[in-house]
Amino acid sequence: MNVAEKIKNKKVIHWFRDDQRTTDHEVISNHQICKSIRCFFVMDEKYDQIHPLGFPLIDDKRKSFLDESIQELKNNLLRLGIKLTVVKDINNIHDLEILDDEILTYQKLHGTEELKLEHTIVTKFKEHISFDNFTLTDASNLPFQLEKTPEVFTSFRKKIEKYGSFQKPITLPEIPLESKPYHARGGEKSAINRLKYYFYEEQLLSKYKETRNGMLGTDFSSRFSPWLANGNISARTIYYFIKDYEKQFGSNSSTYWLIFELLWRDFFQFQLRKHGSLFFKKNGINGKATTYRNNKNLFWNWVNGETEDDLVDANMTELKITGWMSNRGRQNVASYLIHDLHINWRWGAAWMESQLIDYDPASNWGNWMYIAGVGNDPRPFRKFNTQSQAERYDPTENYRKKWLK
């Protein structure tokens, strides 16, 4: 029985998490069949907390993106006649005045903190229904048992592509006639605007594989990640429009490569489910013991873009100003912190969690473990030569000049 069948003629109270949209949504797309429906969002308890190293657990740029997303969601729901209440303190959940016959619906998330919060909220309700819509891969149709999820991405991808299946959209968002200039603003509208521009106006998807390692500008990659992380758009919706794009403009290695990257995202989601709290431990999922220097001065030099490496400094400056960094940049700055400065990888992962507008527990911590050699990398040691990386990916020095001016 699917979610729609379960909520038919029921009083529903939906808890929004990383599913902040009104289209392609298990509950909102089917809200008219409910007897009644209202919604709430619980603000992350980290919202106003400080890390032991002295920085906000959630920085202002990430807060702004989230606030924009929730405000747009609230407005979109109002147009449907649905009220959204923002609960700023989990201790005030009783203010919702939950009715005995209301069914809780919510998106299943698998981070340790997310599971803890789920337990706290679910116990307030007599009946609850969860759904699993964060991945492109259909979690109910895996070609392997969760505990036997392949540890290497290539094996995972090949099995999913051969034996698994992808989730299908419930409803599709309306694509605007023309897009507006790129702006990293939270909300479903901005996500669809980006899709319109990147796919249909500029047809940048056709050369994605060739440009994806860029660092300067906004057109070298899709930049869907912030909206995916907050659920302003679903991976299955993006997949649908990739296939639609291929019908209109043709398929090639680049159109496939964006699906390939969505599967990388899925890979870390399922690794988190498999390994749980080990994702956040110093020795990672493979238990490799490593000694680090707890040198706060070196860490803060890295944070502030004040190392002796101009590629690292440029990337860290961009992150601090914008809340975003290219994939190529993330690999280089992580490698530099871990393998050149010998600083605890978890300090870097926590800083990225604070800063990134596209923060997602599985992708962030999974990639940091990968570079640190305590995660899923089949190679025992992955160190980037930032000098040769700069020569290869920023040969004109335009990227470095922009952020180090």
> Could you tell me the two tokens for 347?
């300090």
pTM (two decimals): 0.96
Domains of the chain: 3-131 (3.40.50.620), 139-275 (1.25.40.80), 281-404 (1.10.579.10)
pLDDT tens string 109-135: 999 999 999 999 999 999 999 999 999
DSSP 263-297: HHHHHHHHHHHHHGGGGGSTTTTTT-----B--HH
- CA dist., res. 365 & res. 190, Å (int): 26
- CA dist., res. 165 & res. 175, Å (int): 26
Check residue 377 and give its pLDDT: 81
Averaged over 184-205, what is the pLDDT? Answer: 97
- CA dist., res. 257 & res. 205, Å (int): 9
pLDDT tens string 370-380: 999 999 987 76
DSSP 40-82: EEEPPGGGG-B-TTSSBSS-HHHHHHHHHHHHHHHHHHHHTT-
- CA dist., res. 220 & res. 326, Å (int): 9
- Confidence label for 405 from pLDDT (cuts 50, 70 and 90): confident
